[in-house]
Amino acid sequence: MQFSLVNGNKSAPFLKGVGLCPACGNKTIAKCGSVKVWHWAHANQESCDPWWENETPWHRAWKAHWSIEYQEIVHTSKESNERHIADVRNSVGLVLEFQNSPMNDQELASREAFYGNMVWVINGSSFQKNIKICAKLPSPENQISKDMRICAPQLNSKEFLYWLVSENEPGATMVEMHGSHRIQSFVDETHTGHHLFMWKHPREIWFRSQVPVYFDFGGETLWQLVKFNAGPTFCLRVSSKAEFIVKNGGQVRAS
Ligand SMILES: [Zn+2]
């Protein structure tokens, strides 16, 4: 944790610091070494929050966009009294979880149910090399796009294949396919950041999330994992990290 209560104040770790865990109230000790980022650890136990992961500079850099009052917020379930510490909970109650490590389905489902109104930001640096961004797609919000069903991407293709719901009988086993070259200007004009992608050894857990999932591959952009429309095909929508931060109540500081 980056914060413990020292004389009732939310405090960052300092040399020889002693505090109280804001979640369980037990004693915490400041760890100010040179290997891990400075943090607070429970004096007599592992973290009281099994969902808490060891923090890296990546976590800290993300959380620092929100003021301290919104970081590491203890969230208590009204039903079960269970407590966990959210990385960020902003002024309108949206929880942002910055996640480095993989997790199983059970943990994913529990965490999403516990916080409800939340988004995931996933550190994608370890699997970025397995992801290839493919053809550009039109805006799924467009009326024409709503009629389109996009097929899985073709390797090394700037084009994609699609079929139209309106051109085919419901439940048809064969459909008429089209190449995107014939609608390229429509794609270019309506594009709002969506791309097909291929993922070798995918972390499939993220396809099963019920809340917004964003991948951080470094740099100034963020890639949201979304379904293109009512069809089954997932795509990645690129947007600006700064925009995401500001939209969610954080601040982008000049570095
Ligand atoms: Zn605790």
Distance 49 CA to ligand 1 centre (A): 7
Report pLDDT digits (tens) over 87-134. 999 999 999 999 999 899 999 999 999 999 999 999 999 999 999 999
For residues 98 and 216, what is the distance between their CA atoms, to the nearest angstrom? 10
Report pLDDT digits (tens) over 204-251. 999 999 999 999 999 999 999 999 987 889 999 999 999 999 999 999
CA distances (Å), 90 to each of 56, 161, 220, in order?
Answer: 21, 41, 21
**pLDDT above 70 for 254:** no
Distance 13 CA to ligand 1 centre (A): 15
List the single range of 48-52, 154-158, 196-200 with lowest mean pLDDT. 154-158
Distance 3 CA to ligand 1 centre (A): 11
Sequence length of the chain is: 255
CB atoms within 10 A of CB 123: 19
For residues 72 and 28, what is the distance between their CA atoms, to the nearest angstrom? 15
Q: What is the largest CA-CA distance in the chain?
A: 72
Q: What is the pLDDT of residue 13?
A: 97
Q: What is the pLDDT of residue 46?
A: 85
In a domain, 30, yes or no: yes
In a domain, 25, yes or no: yes
For residues 112 and 114, what is the distance between their CA atoms, to the nearest angstrom? 5
Q: What is the pLDDT of residue 255?
A: 56
Q: What is the pLDDT of residue 139?
A: 95
In a domain, 147, yes or no: no
State the DSSP code for 216. E
50: its two tokens:
């099994």
CB atoms within 10 A of CB 219: 7
Which one-letter amino acid corresponds to residue 191?
Answer: H
Q: Residue 253, class by beta-carbon neighbours within 10 Å (0-12 exposed, 13-18 middle, 19+ buried)?
A: exposed
In a domain, 116, yes or no: no
Helix (H, G, I), strand (E, B) or coil at 59: helix
Report pLDDT digits (tens) over 156-177. 778 999 999 999 998 888 999 9
In a domain, 222, yes or no: no
Distance 47 CA to ligand 1 centre (A): 6
In a domain, 93, yes or no: no
In a domain, 112, yes or no: no
Q: What angle do CA 35, 38, 41 make, to 5 degrees?
A: 105
Distance 31 CA to ligand 1 centre (A): 15
- Structurally, the chain folds into a number of domains equal to 1
For residues 148 and 197, what is the distance between their CA atoms, to the nearest angstrom? 17
Domain limits for position 22:
1-48
In a domain, 86, yes or no: no
pTM of the model: 0.93
Q: Residue 79, class by beta-carbon neighbours within 10 Å (0-12 exposed, 13-18 middle, 19+ buried)?
A: exposed
